[in-house]
Homo-oligomer: A and B are copies of this chain.
Amino acid sequence: MEPIEIFKALSNETRLNILQWLKEPEKHFPKVSIEGGVCVGDIQEKAKTSQSTVSHYLTMMQKAGLLESFRHGQWTYYKIKEETVHQIASFLVSDTQNE
């Protein structure tokens, strides 16, 4: 877990919205895959921004460990990685660190 990469990923309104939406995908998207993922197009539509930007954002959030993706046919689905979200929240409130 790289806290700085995670915080950078969260420093943008659109990306922060995406994270929040994907916490409860059934509540925010018309269709959700069996595994709980949402396809890029549906995220793009809700985020109201360009296809390339959303794709870029999702990749960035995945690299930070906030999301994971899997492909079914021609669709790529993204879902939240709860583990990382909980880890970064714990990191924030913990008070043991080096030097």
Q: Which residues of B contact A90 (CB under 8 A)?
A: 89
- Asked if A75 is at the interface (CB within 8 A of a chain B CB), the reply is no
Contact stretch, chosen from A11-19, A34-42, A51-59: A11-19
Question: Are B24 and A4 touching (Cβ within 8 A)?
Answer: no
- Asked if A85 is at the interface (CB within 8 A of a chain B CB), the reply is yes
Identical subunits present: 2
Contact pick for A3, options B16, B85, B97, B99, CB 8 Å: B16
Q: Which residues of B contact A10 (CB under 8 A)?
A: 3-4, 7
Residues of chain A whose beta carbon lies under 8 Å from any beta carbon of chain B: 3-4, 7-8, 10-13, 16, 20-21, 23-24, 28, 85-86, 88-90, 92-93, 95-97, 99
